[in-house]
């Protein structure tokens, strides 16, 4: 008594008058099949609209052809360009014949992580892409959980860790690029609208700001900085605070474009102008940056490339080619500066 709707490999075999093994061979191409029988089998497949059950296939072959992407809140995707990374992941995964599962982390304590990893494991993903921003303690579990019990894992945009496979943007370098440019335009008091405290990306971009100031012979005073939470609203507030502390500010680097939008709002509403009185630069180079008033100078990161690189690395872990290549790898993506009106002295 059959319960399933769709045709199984048995149905095809019966219809074609061959064994299931032969049908399997026709589909996989792993073993030779006589042209005549192949034709019969293909006709049967067509006639029955047969679609292999990938679950059963995965069960026996121990390969699900599924990759799991682990993210935290979805808002992250929208805000920080994880979406572009996802685009790269999707593209490359599709080329390699993988489907994608999406998993959401609620708590980053080891117990929560373990629960998540267990469900991912239960689904038998072939590999895991860890696409969660690193903030205080969020990645501490990697030292406490035996990763070997789970499928291969590649981490996106976290602090390079020699024990892990990591694909990351050079955030320090990117921020330095932007701030050095502001200094080169003649700015002497360059403020920083930082991201939230504890976030790795915030910290790196702050370091880039600091390094660029020092190299330009300027002092990275704490009063030149204010932190937001990546949102436009927080950018408004941070900028207000900055201008209250240091009214003589002549340039500001914002740790992302969205906060730069808020900062712009505050600057204008306080009667100042960009770029004539204050130069402005952001980070991310979102598609909208060129439509800000004025168009925003920003740091572009090739996140699509980052996503693709992550999948490539994962693929190498799933199907190791070579004993020598088995060392964890840290891949660094170099960002570039896109200069627009917001940082060009009239």
**Toward DNA, which CB reaches closer, 26 or 132?**
26
CB-nearer residue toward DNA: 39 or 214 = 39
How far is Cα 208 from Cα 179, in angstroms, rounded to an integer? 8
The CB-of-14 to DNA minimum distance in angstroms stands at 11
On whether the CB atoms of residues 283 and 298 are closer than 8 A, the answer is yes
> Is residue 87 within the footprint of its own copies (CB under 8 A)?
yes
The DSSP line for 1-38 is ----SS--HHHHHHHHTS-HHHHHHHHH--S---HHHH
Q: Which long-range contacts (CB under 8 A, 24 or more apart) does 59-66 make?
A: 63/126, 64/123, 64/124, 64/125, 64/126, 65/97, 65/98, 65/99, 65/126, 66/98, 66/99, 66/100, 66/101, 66/123, 66/124, 66/125, 66/126
Q: Answer yes or no whether residue 2 interacts with its own copies by CB under 8 A.
A: no
Binding status of residue 65 toward DNA by CB under 7 A: no
Q: How far is CA 335 from CA 81, 117, 146, in A?
A: 13, 32, 33
Helix (H, G, I), strand (E, B) or coil at 330: strand
* 186 lines the binding site for its own copies (CB under 8 A): no
Q: Residues 115-134 vs its own copies: string with x where CB under 8 A?
A: ---xx-xxxx----------
Structure tokens at 276: 């004539």
Q: Does 54 bind its own copies (CB under 8 A)?
A: yes
Query: Which of DNA, its own copies, none does residue 112 bind to, with CB < 5 to 8 Å depending on kind?
Result: none
Least Å distance, CB 227 to its own copies, is 17
Q: Residue 9 touches which of DNA, its own copies, none (CB < 5 to 8 A by kind)?
A: DNA
Give the separation between CA 52 and CA 193, rounded to whole angstroms: 54
- Residue 52 binds to its own copies (criterion: CB under 8 A): yes
Site map for DNA, 42-61, x if CB under 7 A? --------xxxx--xx-xxx
270 binds its own copies (CB under 8 A): no
Q: What is the DSSP letter of 142?
A: G
**Residue 24 sits in the site that holds DNA (CB under 7 A):** yes
Distance, in Å, from the CA atom of 16 to the CA atom of 25, rounded to the nearest integer, reads 14
Residue ranges that bind DNA, judged by CB under 7 A: 1-4, 8-10, 17-22, 24-25, 27-28, 30-34, 36-38, 50-53, 56-57, 59-61
Residue ranges that bind its own copies, judged by CB under 8 A: 3-6, 49, 51-56, 58-59, 62, 64, 66, 69, 73-75, 77-78, 83-84, 86-87, 90, 94, 99-104, 118-119, 121-124, 149, 231-233, 235-236, 258, 261-262, 264-265, 268-269, 287-288, 290-293, 295
């Amino acid at each position: 008594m059959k319960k399933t709707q769709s045709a199984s490999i048995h149905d095809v075999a019966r219809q074609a008058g061959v064994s299931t093994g032969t049908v399997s061979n026709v589909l996989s191409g792993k073993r030779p099949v006589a042209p005549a029988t192949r034709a019969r089998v293909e006709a049967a497949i067509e006639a029955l609209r047969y679609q292999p059950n990938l679950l059963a296939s995965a069960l026996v072959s121990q390969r699900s052809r599924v990759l799991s992407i682990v993210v935290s809140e979805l808002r992250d995707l929208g805000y920080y360009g994880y979406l572009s990374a996802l685009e790269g992941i999707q593209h490359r995964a599709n080329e390699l014949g993988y489907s994608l599962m999406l998993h959401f982390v609620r708590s980053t304590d080891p117990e929560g992580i373990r629960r998540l990893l267990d469900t991912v494991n239960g689904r038998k993903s072939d590999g895991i892409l860890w696409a969660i921003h690193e903030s205080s303690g969020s990645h501490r579990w990697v030292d406490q959980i035996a990763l070997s019990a789970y499928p291969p894992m590649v981490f996106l945009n976290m602090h390079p860790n020699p024990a892990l496979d990591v694909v990351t943007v050079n955030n320090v370098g990117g921020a330095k690029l932007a701030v050095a440019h502001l200094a080169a335009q003649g700015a002497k008091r360059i403020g920083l609208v930082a991201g939230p405290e504890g976030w790795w990306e915030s910290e790196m971009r702050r370091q880039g700001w600091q390094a660029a100031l020092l190299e330009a012979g300027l002092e990275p005073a704490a009063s030149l900085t204010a932190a937001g939470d990546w949102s436009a609203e927080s950018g408004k507030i941070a900028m207000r605070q900055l201008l209250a502390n240091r009214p003589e500010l002549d340039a500001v680097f914002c740790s992302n474009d969205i906060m730069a939008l808020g900062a712009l709002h505050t600057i204008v509403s306080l009667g100042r102008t960009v770029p004539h009185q204050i130069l402005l630069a952001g980070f991310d180079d979102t598609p909208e940056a060129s439509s800000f008033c004025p168009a925003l100078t920003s740091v572009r990161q090739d996140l699509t490339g980052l996503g693709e690189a992550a999948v490539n690395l994962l693929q190498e872990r799933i199907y190791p080619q070579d004993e020598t290549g088995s060392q964890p790898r840290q891949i660094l993506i170099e960002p570039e500066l896109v200069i627009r009106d917001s940082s060009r002295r009239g």
